[in-house]
Amino acid sequence: MRTVNVRTLAAALLICLCFGSIHAYGVLLAPVELWLGTSRTVASMGYAIAVAALTAGVYLNGHVEALLGPQLRLAACGILAALGLIIAGGTASTAGLLLGFGLMYGLANGIAYAMSLGIAAGAMPGREAQAMGLATATYGLGAVLCAQLFNAALGHVHVAVILLVLAPLILAVCALGAALVQGDKRSGPYSTKGIPQATPRPLLFLWFSYLLGAFSGLMVLAHAPAIAVWRDGGPTQAGLVSSAVSMGSVAGGYLGGVFAERVPGPRGVALPLLVQAGALASLPLMSGLAPIAAALGLAGLCYGVLIAVVPAEVRRIGGPQAFAQNYGRVFTAWGIAGVAGPVTAGYLYDITLGYGAALAAAAALSLCSCLFIMCVGK
């Protein structure tokens, strides 16, 4: 087995850990609303735009990879992200938040995240799926850690200070990452000459499967604390349930990479999706903190497996040279699910005054995702 390039792998994991902070925005939501004197809907738009821009960044990375090496792309990501966070924290305006955090930081985040997967895969030859799973898990871990840090900091500093302090930290991590990958030819850039412009048929099936699987997962995970309160009451359970879901997702990210190597192909993700469907379908029948937290944590783990195994499948189907472009295309499914999934669950709750319909729909979508995943290999 070939040796691991520790420097390059460290660069990828540092990037993921730091840029995972974008998904800790939920902790900042209420303070941002109060600071800007705006509505919860407008404050939420900061993250919605960031998700859309992140998706665009992942897609864009595949088209600039042949033009810019990893050092230049990381430098550009660091500068763009830092400027965006300075605008978001320094202008004290809704426009500054949407432009700086939403558009600029989101776009830089997507490019950096997509880069980190390719860099990690190049650092562990022969264990690429495991490497990408590790990077995915670290990205999720960054969100969990930053949520805790942001929450602790809010007791002492203004929310704007958090955004302003994050800016130089992101810039420093990108500079360090660029230094660590310098001279590593395996991390790019790849030539796009000879790469098919049409999306291979298996990737189309994978795209639709990813859409359904991520949609169902995010429908539930975004509302997990509220689902726990709906089933068993007691708002004090929300923090515990949220932690169970978050850590389940992080663990699933790593296990998904290992699982993709042990069971490559569509079967590797079919079982976790079936388990997810069962967990979601059983939730309306449960009561008590322990089984509810366990079921939601299991759903989080299955979602983590899904988002880790998809890049491994993309690389297996299209090869390493076309990975950035192909993953950019497939990742648009996650972008759609990330925006529409939580909103759909909220809408179903509003019209039914409960989460039963949302859970049933999510379970059905998970089963449909299994069918399309199995079609990938045919």
Q: Could you read off the pLDDT tens digit of each residue along the chain, which spans 378 residues?
A: 567 788 889 999 999 999 999 988 888 888 888 899 988 778 888 888 999 999 999 999 988 877 888 889 999 999 999 999 999 999 989 999 999 999 999 999 999 999 999 899 888 888 888 888 889 989 989 988 888 898 889 889 999 999 999 999 999 999 999 998 865 554 554 444 444 555 667 888 888 888 998 888 888 877 877 787 787 655 545 667 777 888 888 888 888 888 777 776 777 777 788 888 888 888 888 777 778 888 888 888 888 888 888 888 888 888 888 888 888 889 899 889 988 888 888 888 888 888 889 899 999 999 888 877 776 555
H or E stretch at 325: helix 323-352
317 alpha-carbon distance from chain centroid? 21
pLDDT of the residue at 238:
61
Global confidence as pTM: 0.84
Q: Round to whole Å and give the CA distance between 113 and 77.
A: 10
**Is-contact 308 193, C-beta < 8 A?**
no
Q: Hey, how many other C-beta atoms are within 10 angstroms of the C-beta on 156?
A: 7
C-alpha neighbours within 13 Å on the C-beta side of residue 297: 15
Rounded (10°) CA dihedral 70, 73, 75, 80 = -160
How big is the chain, counted in residues? 378
Residue 27 in contact with residue 243, Cβ under 8 Å?
no
Report the pLDDT value the prediction gives residue 223, as an integer from 0 to 100.
81
